[in-house]
Structure 1
């Protein structure tokens, strides 16, 4: 009894002296009743060379996505060659930390080697040959991680930026419009328990939204279960509006699918593309007028970024019954792709953690929105 009284007295004294600090909530804990919160990790992090970033991921997030290690080019560069080392490390990291592991991406028109679409003479292969190559790739990659990777971005960015039609790609021209159907069928066969997603950017735009709805309805009509539509959240400080994003959340949910925000970041820099998309092929020459915060982000812009994230997460909380996952595209400002797109060598500030791995004001603003959960 005396020992207990002594312990209580010491504890009260420590509290009065400010020696006991209340542990700060993390993103994954704050939103655990709402949706997964995650980050995309890059090759440098997956290989273990950025220990600070990995520690931050472990602490803050409960789901991960790979930036590049599972795209066709890196993992399957030649017809009979697969590079699984980094992908294996990525999956192992997720397993060791009890995370929901996402695979990104199986069929995409970018970062897919030319050999996939060509014969030995460099001419387009037949529909049958391309389907065989697609199936073998999906069966090999998905099959390797069966039961380990829980969800796959099966088809990425198949809707054109204008008009809502299918994007003109080699997948479309050689196979036809059913290439997406075939990709989902092959993925389901390789791992029947994995969640399957369609992923795209600018889905707040009415034309791309309607094109995506048409695509998913066609898949559903064939008996294919699409678990979620991934809305890439490559947004600016004012575009798109919260109302535009909300309209797509509601419209997609009416299909009976979840909505995932798969690549969230906020570009605070002047953008020569006027924020019309996130096409990695749309790049521009270096111009200092589009790289204006090389010495740090002004407080006025920091406040705008903070408010933007607060508004977005308030929206996510409002529709948490429709949303399965929020994934930031990167861990800190230092490793964001926006440092090199659409112009290389910029100093960008799009995420919740700065270049010193410290939380920004936007981080606290996001945590505050979690209090709205009932």
Structure 2
């Protein structure tokens, strides 16, 4: 059996299979945010078409399913700060207004990241100029959205896989204390906003150790850090549940909130792990195996993986404060175009028509 990408098993049939009563669907598809309202926030990543409300049905769907949102790109410095003395806030402002209008808490993403930097950074050679950019960017952006965003990913992906500091332009010119300084500046610019460190693979032991050391360094400097984001870019059938649980426990032991910030489960072949956007793969016939639909065996494994993950999140709901999916539906996922452009991927709970997949019902059934 193959489930076509533009079709889905009917809600009633799936509900009966999973033991959900037909009455649960009286108001249509169940709501993720309502189902987990007493446990943790449910977020999604939004693109301009979505927060500009170009399609009313999509807006209605987003508002029904999610109560938190993170911008995919519009708050990254390449788009927000394109030239040395120019900021372009129009799209970020629209995102923030979308959140205000529809009661979605906005997580700002991200103040400092080595990737998607403005082009002029490549021409800078002096540490003083990098520090000026670094300081002004944080103060200007965090200050503008003071009281308007719930939280910030202050620094994104500062670590290598072995837990050492990634060799970025900020490390090169500002030294290892740049992460602590970023949090200090963000705290000053937006004192009532929650401040997070965000990374991928920081549930793995070596990178986790580096992340814990980084957090302790910030705390020892008496600078506020409120939480840590585990991105959650995992692969079907290989979700590292033990490492995730141990990471939740160890991060929480430092007094931090824990978020799953960019959740998706890759179902296509990949010859590396993680989410380093600079990595690429060759495009060949084997790289896009499911252009017309996902085989039932893979669909069921995806559902089982999501069920196991949410069981774990519910077990630690006193520590996990948010679960954000990196995309509203399969068609929006960045994994369709990375690390190979034009693939057909199926990593989320909703198909390309915003219809729930078996994984969605497995997750919902945990609360029935």
State if a TM-score over 0.5 links the two structures.
yes
Q: Is 1:94 aligned to 2:103, yes or no?
A: no
Deviation of 1:25 after TM superposition, in Å, equals 3.2
Identify which of 340, 363, 368 aligns with 2:365: 368
Change (3 A) 1:196 1:335: same
RMSD, aligned α-carbons: 1.6
Equivalence for 2:87: 82
Distance 2:36 2:270 in 1: 32
C-alpha deviation, 1:19, in angstroms: 11
**Structure 2: which 5+ residue stretches go unaligned?**
1-21
Q: Report whether the alignment pairs 1:125 with 2:126.
A: yes
Q: For residues 23 and 120 of structure 2, what CA distance do their matches in structure 1 show?
A: 63
Confirm whether residue 281 of structure 1 aligns to residue 281 of structure 2.
Answer: no
**1:50 to 1:116, Cα distance in 2 relative to 1, 3 A:** farther
SS at match of 1:199: strand
- Show the counterpart of 2:8: none
Deviation at 1:51, TM superposition (A): 3.7
CA distance in 1, matches of 2:50, 2:26: 30
Alignment partner of 1:22 out of 7, 26, 29:
26
Computing the radius of gyration over CA atoms, which structure comes out larger, 1 or 2? 1
Residues 1:136 and 2:136 aligned together: yes
What do residues 208-227 of structure 1 show as CA deviations (whole Å, max 9, x unaligned)?
00000000000000111211
Q: Which range moves more in the overlay, 217-226 or 133-142?
A: 133-142
CA distance in 2, matches of 1:66, 1:193: 20
TM-score (norm 2): 0.91
Among 33, 52, 70, the residue aligned to 1:47: 52
Task: Rate the CA distance shift 1:66–1:21 in 2: closer, same or farther, 3 A.
Answer: closer
Q: Take 1:40 and 1:20, find their aligned partners in 2: how far apart are those partners? A: 27
Matched residue, 2:215: 216
2-side partners of 1:21 and 1:152: how far apart? Answer: 36
Q: Distance in 2 between matches of 1:282 and 1:47?
A: 31
Higher RCO (CA-CA < 8 Å; seq separation 6+):
2
Please name the residue that 1:164 is paired with.
163
Please identify, of 218-227 and 18-27, the stretch whose mean Cα deviation from structure 2 is larger: 18-27
Cα distance in 1 for residues equivalent to 2:175 and 2:24: 64
> Size of the alignment, in residue pairs?
346
**TM-score normalised by L of structure 1:** 0.89
Which residue matches 1:355? 352
Tell me which residue corresponds to 2:261.
262
The answer (yes or no) to whether the contact 1:117–1:170 under 8 Å persists in 2 is no
Q: Which residue of 1 aligns with 2:341?
A: 344
How far the C-alpha of 1:139 sits from its partner, in A, is 1.3
User: 2:5 corresponds to which residue?
Assistant: none
Q: CA deviation at 1:50?
A: 4.1
1:114 Cα offset (Å): 3.8
